[in-house]
Structure formats: C-alpha cells, structure tokens
A and B are shown apart, each in its own frame.
Chain A
Amino acid sequence: MKGAVAFRRKAADRVMKWVFTLCAFLVILPLFLIFFDLVIKGGKELKLTLLIDLPHPVGEPGGGIANGIVGTVAITLLTMLWSVPTAVLCGIYLAEYGKGKFASAVRFAADTMSGVPSIIMGIFGYILLVLPMKRFSAWAGAAALSMIFIPVVVRTTEEMLRTVPTTVREAALALGIERWKATLRITVRTAWPGILTGILLAMARIIGETAPLLFTALGNQFWQTRLDQPIAAVPLQVFTYAISPYEDWHDKAWAGALVLITMVLMINIAARVLTRDKR
C-alpha cells in the first residue's frame, strides 16, 4: 500500500515536470515559427532593390521600401530629438528631487501614459497636429510616438538613478562639488549605461509601432523630404501590403517585416550588450 502511494506521488511529480516543460516549449515555439516564416518568406524578396527603390505600382515587378526606411529613421530621430532630453531630465528630477506630491503626480502620469494603448496616441497626434495643420505629417507621427517614448524612458531613468548608492552622491557633495554638477557628472554618469539601455529599448519599440502612425504620418508612395507632409514608414508599408489582395505585395510585406525586425533586434541586442558590459 505504502509503496503504491509513494509511486503515485512520484509519478505525479514526473508528469507535472513534463507538463511545465511542455508549457515552456509551447511559449517559445511561436517565436521560432515567426522567425522561420520571416526568413523564408521575407528572404525571397530581400534584394538590393528592396532597400534602394521606391515602391512600384501593383503588377509592376521590382520596387522597394527605401522611402519607408528613410521615413522610419526620420520619424524616429525626430521623436527622440526632443523626447530624450525631456524624459531624461524628468527622470533626473524624480530621482533626485522627487519626494513631494508633485513628483507622485508626475510618476502617476508617466505610469498612466505607458499603459495607454498606442492607437490612442495616434488620435492624440491627429487632433493636436493633423487637424490644425490640415495635413498629415512626420511631425504628427513624431508627436504620437513621443507619447509612447517619454513615459517609458522617464521611469527607467528614475529607476537607474536610484540604483546609484546615496553614498556616492554624499561623497561628491562632501568634496564641495555643487549639487547640479554632482548630479550630472557623478550620479547620471554612473547610471548612464542603464539609462542608455532604456533609451535604446524604447527606440526599438517605437520603430515597430504602426497604430500611432496610421492617422498621423499616414504613409507615402514617394520620397518626402518635408517634415510637414505625409511620410512613409516601414511598419505602415508592411500593414498596407499585408492587407492588400495582391500576391506580389504580400511578398513585399514579408520582406518589409524582415527589414523591420532586423532593425528592432539590432537595437534590442545593442541595448542588452550595453548592460552586460556594465556588470
């Protein structure tokens, strides 16, 4: 009898171990499937012309997503140009001076914003910039994306600065360095690799964002050098091509997706390597 019970308990243990292993396998399986399809279906169309040509009309072979790549880079840089200083300085305030009610309100605001669905940031950009300017533009796209970028970087900057021990700050102040200098030159510099990682991860995220650009940047079939005009972006092109009824556009969607994921992963890995070096 006793032996049977022990056997049952051991068997249950074994079975559950396999169940958990299976769960882990099922969790990472889609990742492999998605990457497999991206490489196979996207690789087929991955030619040089994809990277340097404008999109061609339906039925005309060839063509690329060059304007989308340039557009994505432009919108991303535009977003970061004002979002990085805003977010980092806000993070510094929260970490170094943020004790009162005002700071809690800012933290709550950042937390709230980071939970807001990205499509709503698109509405925000549309109402705030597209309606008054009466046209879609890179500016509006960047405005929508900064609403996603800023809250994330605010919170990671604050967290990273908080990992710097108080003793470091006190040591700097004890040497008679002014507080602002101690903060920038000692505290922020110590935490900088972590802050930069946060910035890069947020950048990787906004590069892949589609929903906020749908009615702000809108997309464009041609080159666009003016920032107050509709501009192309890779995620928008992937979306448009994917839901189109044309076979050769579907191939373009896969190729565009491969380009997009490569950009995102490269930045993601760079961010991770950075924190690893720190340790």
Chain B
Amino acid sequence: MARKTGENIKDLLFERTTGGFAFLVLFLAVLLFAVLLRESLPALRKFGAAFLVTGTWDPVLEKFGALPFIYGTVISSFLAILIALPLSVGAAIFINEFAPPWMKTPVSFLAELLAAIPSVIYGLWGIFVLVPVLRDVLMKPATKYLGWIPLFKGPVYGPSMLAAGVLLSIMIIPFILSVSREVLATVPQRQKEAVLSLGGTRWEMLRIVIGQHCIPGIFGATILGLGRALGETMAVTMVIGNRPEALLSLFQPGYSMAAVIANEFTEAVGDVHLSSLVLIGLILFTMTLAVNLAAKWILTKMVARASRGI
C-alpha cells in the first residue's frame, strides 16, 4: 500500500490517533514496571540480594525474606507440571489421533472450558471438595505407611503444598493441552503415513513422530503452563495453608509469593512491610516474564522449523 506524498490530513490524523493509543499501551507497561520498582526500592535497599535467601518473615521486627514464598511457588508449580504434563499430552494425543471425529470438538471444548472457570471458584472447590478428599484418601494413608520418607511426613492438616499442586495442575491443563495439540498438528501428514505404510502401529508411529518433532514444542507448552502456575493467586491462597516456612514434606502447609501478597497487602504494618510485599511482586513479575519469554522463544523456533518442513 504505497502512499502518496502530500497525504490526506484525515489519514494522517487517523494514523496519529491510533498510534497515540498504541503509545498509551506501551506507556502502561513501562509505568507498571516503574511503579513496582519504585515501591520496592526501600526493601531492596534494606535487604539487598539476601532477601532472596532469607527465611524469616517477621512484620513485628521488620525482618523480611522471600525464601519460603519463592520455595512454595516453585514447588507447587513444579508439582502442577508433573501432574498436568502427562495428562495434557496424553489427552492431546487422544483428541488429535484416536478420538472419533464426532468426539473431537466436544472433548476439546470441555477442556477449554476449564480455562474459563474463575480462579476463586477453583479455590472454593479446593477448600471444600478437593482438600478433604486428598486428606482422607491420599495423605492420611500415605503418612501412615510412608511417613518415614521426608516428602510424606505428617501431621496431615489438609491444606498443603500437595493440594495446591493438584489444584494448579487442573488449572493449567487447558493451556498445555491446547498448545500440545497445535504442536502435534504441525507434524507433516506424509511422515505419519510413511511410518504406517511400513507396517508400524499407531503407537509406534506416534512414538517416532513425537520423538522427532514434538519434544521442543511440548517443552514450550510446559514452560507456558509453568508461567500460568507461578502467578496463580486465589486458588493457591485458599488451599496451600499459608504458613511461611519452607518445609520438605508435601503434606505440610506452605505459602506462595502471590498468596502472601494477597493476604498481607491491605494489612501491611509500616512501609518496610509494604515495600517487601511489592518486592515479592517484582520478583514474581520477573520470574513469569522470563518464563513466558523462554516459552515464546521455544515455540517460535519450533514453528520456524516446522515451516521449513524439517
């Protein structure tokens, strides 16, 4: 669309107006970062890098460290990935390769619907349904017989790192699932047919094809899911137990970065407390940004490779 010189004034005005709003969006993003940085400066000055590795969280003595929260966020998200990854990839394979045509749309629609449920409803369901079931069916028997393993040490209360991990896994499944389906769909049809024509079964075909084509893409999908899990607030706050200690046992209450912000922000006593909470927010922001950028980088590379037909 070549433009003439001596351009129409209205056209120019239109371009400038829309451009102005584009600038506004850019400005908001910069403002967000600036605001977080400015408000976290007092805590950053006071505690420095030690903030990341300090385990105390004491509003009375004004001694703050983010370690228990970072630990809780990372472990619960990792647990969520551990559960969600195999289920999502398995379900993606089912929908793309095995499901009869009439079943594909409803099954993927239902899975997508999981992403539409508000986080607070997951939390509600977690408190009253998931946590009691996990406690009675899984955690109590497990501590009884396997309690000598540090990961499964009692006492069992219910709200715990495990509950948060399981609930998070349900919440991130739709994201990993839909990206995995896209990744599976990039495999050239002729390659699948080549394996089948040599007498391979469907499973052998999938094993070969996925091994050669889909591992980086599925890895990207997983990282994307991780980005979701790290920042999830309400559901985690409601089931993780909110105890600021980094404990090895998955059955013990923990805390997460988003949860401590949600719980203490309005009741922050004093500037250092508030600033420390904002600093946790800034760390969370940086973590999710890094994770999302990594996922995007992997997935774009994957698409580039697929379009070259390798």
Interface residues of chain A, those whose CB is within 8 Å of chain B, are 9-10, 12-13, 16-17, 19-24, 26-28, 30-31, 33-34, 37-38, 41, 85-87, 89-90, 92-94, 96-98, 102-103, 105-106, 109-113, 115-124, 126-128, 147, 150-151, 154, 166, 169-170, 173, 178-180, 183, 204-205, 207-211, 214-215, 218, 235, 238-239, 242-243, 250, 253-254, 257, 260-261, 264-265, 268
Complex Cα distance, B3 from A85, in Å, reads 26
Kindly report which residue of chain B lies nearest to residue A93, judged by CB atoms: B18
Interface residue from B19, B111, B118, B285 paired with A210 (Cβ < 8 Å):
B118
On whether the beta carbons of B116 and A204 are closer than 8 Å, the reply is: yes
Interface residues of B toward A: which range?
A: 35 or more
On whether the beta carbons of A110 and B86 are closer than 8 Å, the reply is: no
On whether the beta carbons of A89 and B17 are closer than 8 Å, the reply is: yes
Query: Would you call B121 an interface residue if the criterion is a C-beta within 8 Å of the partner chain's C-beta atoms?
Result: yes
Please indicate the chain A residues that have their CB under 8 angstroms from the CB of B278 in the complex: 123, 127
Interface residue from B114, B117, B170, B261 paired with A119 (Cβ < 8 Å):
B261
Kindly report which residue of chain B lies nearest to residue A12, judged by CB atoms: B203
Please indicate the chain B residues that have their CB under 8 angstroms from the CB of A17 in the complex: 98, 202-203
Query: Would you call B110 an interface residue if the criterion is a C-beta within 8 Å of the partner chain's C-beta atoms?
Result: yes
Complex Cα distance, B75 from A192, in Å, reads 43
Kindly report which residue of chain B lies nearest to residue A95, judged by CB atoms: B18
Which parts of B112-135 form the interface with A (CB within 8 Å)? 113-114, 116-125, 127-129
Query: Would you call B218 an interface residue if the criterion is a C-beta within 8 Å of the partner chain's C-beta atoms?
Result: no
Interface residue from B124, B227, B258, B296 paired with A254 (Cβ < 8 Å):
B124
On whether the beta carbons of B170 and A92 are closer than 8 Å, the reply is: no
On whether the beta carbons of A37 and B125 are closer than 8 Å, the reply is: yes
On whether the beta carbons of B8 and A179 are closer than 8 Å, the reply is: yes
Kindly report which residue of chain A lies nearest to residue B99, judged by CB atoms: A24
- Which of B19, B89, B113 has the most chain A CB atoms inside 10 A of its CB? B19
On whether the beta carbons of B230 and A117 are closer than 8 Å, the reply is: yes
On whether the beta carbons of B125 and A243 are closer than 8 Å, the reply is: no
On whether the beta carbons of B1 and A170 are closer than 8 Å, the reply is: yes
Interface residue from A102, A127, A205, A238 paired with B39 (Cβ < 8 Å):
A127
Kindly report which residue of chain A lies nearest to residue B116, judged by CB atoms: A268
Knowing that A28-B114, A215-B266, A242-B127 are A-B contacts, what are 16 other residue pairs whose CB atoms are under 8 Å apart, sorted by A's residue number?
A20-B98, A27-B91, A27-B177, A31-B110, A33-B129, A34-B122, A34-B125, A37-B129, A38-B121, A110-B25, A112-B289, A117-B231, A118-B231, A120-B261, A123-B281, A205-B116
